Amino acid sequence: MSIEALAKDIAKIIGKENVLTKDADRQSYSYDSAVLEPVIPAMVVRPTEVEQLGLLTKRFYDAGVPMTVRGAGTNLSGGTIPDSTDSVVILTNSLNKVLEINEEDLYAVVETGVVTSVLAAAAAKKNLFYPPDPGSQSISTIGGNIAENAGGLRGLKYGVTKDYVMGIEFFDAEGEFIKSGARTVKCVTGYNLAGLMVQSEGTLGIISKAILKLVPPPKASKAMMAVFDDLIKASEAVAAIIAAHVVPCTMEFLDNTTIVMVDDYTKIGLPRDAAAILLIELDGHPAQVEDETNTTIEVLKKCGATNVVLAKDQAEKMKLWEARRMALPVLARAKPTTVLEDATVPRSKIPDMMRGIESVANKYNLTIGTFGHAGDGNLHPTILCDKRDKAEFHRVEEAIDDLFDIALKLGGTLSGEHGIGTAKAQWLEKETSKGTILFSKKLRKALDPKSLLNPTKQVNMYE
């Protein structure tokens, strides 16, 4: 069937205003948020009812059209870049209803395209808390969060998206409806297919709804900034705080390059001479927060912090977090190309990873700004470069190889939260095994015999 005929057919399901075939529309959905080459799809469709997802998937499957589902497109690993110019992009941003916030049983039911911060605000209105908070939360969707198992600033204490998934409804490649999990804390009915969908990057099915755990909000919190004149001392302090049995809800790291660029832009008044700062927030019962604040300050000083600044009020606290949230956007302004990496190591290995990043920057003569969720060992070395400079970009590619090698040698992982997509697919076997790649391919072939769901992501089904 020609794409024009298919578009007419699809318009009968979702209305012709939701079938986008103009060049400009198709171009708008050809990319992710990283630096990978865009691929313009044949068509973009925007269902407005979750049930339409199943009907659409079946039509596209029958017609043999590759499908890429897209939430907000904020992923950083190529996940939403269409696999070919014959592909269709399925947009979920109109499937955006918060269906239930349950105050008695502490859960939410949402459609897949609900924006993360919208769910968090809906929960907060009822004095409940949805902790996963990726830096992109003001635009990213719950479907995208689940498909990438998104983390965030609060991962250290509260965990990541997978820790909040109680149930998922989805459609498989052939449009069959599947339901896994329940509104109960315990549910062992059938395979844990909801778990299988977490981190599946649009390759195993299209999520339509999710049941997500909510928790009571903490009663008190305190934020502080610790200043260090030595990068390694700052990274040692991270492990020392946890070793003192304090688990902050957030413990973020900014190196000097990032501090200076954030301060230039925001004029927040960060310590521009510092080699690194740690931004720390403790939360919980007021007495516990008080106690843990004292312990944390003691540990920070023992580890060589030259200054520890406690946020006096909400406004000062917001300023500290603004510094962290601005890290990526500000680094991204510095040079035409920003390569944001996501290598993650066991927390105790952060000092070694930091040394590794420094040596890679020197070896390849590159500017690398590093920030990230230090408490999780999840650092974001961010290479500032210009992709048009071929010689420089070749050095960047070599540097990335080295960074992954260092992380893996330290017992870490290729990706703490940004996923594999196409960006990191070539390194997957290095961290896992040949068998893992084969198993993943067999699984996908069984569930999607024509290999139409995001076929080149995670493992390339065309190879």
Ligand X SMILES: Cc1cc2nc3c(=O)[nH]c(=O)nc-3n(C[C@H](O)[C@H](O)[C@H](O)COP(=O)(O)OP(=O)(O)OC[C@H]3O[C@@H](n4cnc5c(N)ncnc54)[C@H](O)[C@@H]3O)c2cc1C
Nearer to ligand X, 293 or 378 (CB): 378
Return left, alpha or beta for 43; rule: phi > 0 is left, psi -120 to 50 is alpha, else beta: beta
Cβ count near 105 (within 10 Å): 12
- The string over 306-339, giving b where at least 16 C-beta atoms fall within 10 Å of a residue's C-beta and e elsewhere, is bebeebeeeeebebbbebbbbbbebbbebbebbb
Question: By CB under 6 A, which span of 133-141, 185-193, 358-366, 405-413 interacts with ligand X?
Answer: 133-141
Q: Is residue 448 a contact residue for ligand X (CB under 6 A)?
A: no
| List 317, 347, 395, 418, residue binding ligand X (CB under 6 A) | 418
Question: By CB under 6 A, which span of 6-14, 76-84, 245-253, 309-317 interacts with ligand X?
Answer: 76-84
Is the separation of the CB atoms in 317 and 309 below 8 Å?
A: no
Q: Is residue 151 a contact residue for ligand X (CB under 6 A)?
A: yes
| List 68, 199, 296, 413, residue binding ligand X (CB under 6 A) | 68
Nearer to ligand X, 347 or 380 (CB): 380
Q: Give the tokens for residue 142.
A: 């719950």
Q: Closest residue to ligand X, Cβ-based?
A: 144
- The C-alpha angle with vertex 390 and arms to 385 and 391, in degrees rounded to 5, equals 85
CB of 307 to ligand X, least distance (A): 27
How far is it, in rounded angstroms, from Cα 96 to Cα 454?
A: 22
Strands (E), 229-314: 250-255, 276-284, 307-310
Q: Give the tokens for residue 20.
A: 């986008």
Q: Is residue 145 a contact residue for ligand X (CB under 6 A)?
A: yes
Q: Is residue 152 a contact residue for ligand X (CB under 6 A)?
A: yes
Nearer to ligand X, 113 or 284 (CB): 113
| List 40, 166, 173, 206, residue binding ligand X (CB under 6 A) | 206
How far is it, in rounded angstroms, from Cα 439 to Cα 460?
A: 13
Chain-centre distance for alpha carbon 196? 17
CA atoms within 13 A on the CB side of 456: 15
| List 69, 109, 214, 425, residue binding ligand X (CB under 6 A) | 69
| List 7, 14, 30, 33, residue binding ligand X (CB under 6 A) | 33
Q: Is residue 258 a contact residue for ligand X (CB under 6 A)?
A: no
| List 19, 50, 147, 357, residue binding ligand X (CB under 6 A) | 147
CB of 82 to ligand X, least distance (A): 10
Interface ranges with ligand X (CB under 6 A) = 33, 68-76, 79-80, 92, 112, 134-136, 140-141, 143-145, 147-148, 150-152, 201-202, 206-207, 328, 417-418, 454, 457
